[in-house]
Amino acid sequence: YSKPLGDGRYVLGMMSTAQDVAPGETQILTTKLFVGPKLRKDLEKVAKGLSLTIDYGWLTVISEPLFWLLDKIHGFFGNWGVAIIVLTILIKLAFYKLSEASYKSMANMRKLTPRLQALKEKFGDDKQKLNQAMMEMYRKEKINPLGGCLPMLVQIPVFIALYWALLESVELRQAPFFLWINDLSTQDPYFVLPVIMGVSM
């Protein structure tokens, strides 16, 4: 285990199984300690299971394959920033059909908005009749009111897992991208990318 002292120093310690030492007896306990960056390839060479110290949280089962794919893409392009962009595009393509179904469902719901408003005016405070009329309209139009949400919900764990994979990847620290971005693990120093994202929305 490690504990930061707050001034750039850390306390390192270890726990092992209890050893009985009789009076006058000597026992020698040997162990190995790895001190270094949590680079997955290096950890796997040092000791079996040491790569498990990279903690992706409760979505490890998704984060590990995502990082594996990210590493393969990086091997092809040689740039972590490009690898992240390509991986994001691949994920969006994988979820294209779900996203398309979601957008279609939301578009259909928008078309029904005037009719829904008319039903609300017709039934007023009678919630039961209003709900029955709405369900009947959804059934006739073959629209699932939750159809726009469910496909989006399926994607959320994948993007959370991608976030953790990027957050825990030591490989991205001090990794340059292009132009003014010379460290992918820090924020944009000139806030150019956040401004571009805000304008594009």
pLDDT tens sequence across 87-136: 999 999 998 888 887 788 788 788 888 888 888 888 877 888 888 888 88
pLDDT of 150 > 80? The answer is: no
Q: What is the pLDDT of residue 133?
A: 84
Q: What is the pLDDT of residue 141?
A: 79
Q: What is the pLDDT of residue 83?
A: 94
pLDDT of 46 > 80? The answer is: yes
CB atoms within 10 A of CB 80: 22
Q: What is the pLDDT of residue 162?
A: 93
36-50, 103-117, 161-175: range with highest mean pLDDT: 161-175
Q: What is the pLDDT of residue 160?
A: 94
Averaged pLDDT of the chain: 85
46-50, 88-92, 107-111, 192-196: range with highest mean pLDDT: 88-92
State the amino acid at position 26 in one-letter form. T
Q: What is the pLDDT of residue 68?
A: 94
pLDDT of 175 > 90? The answer is: no
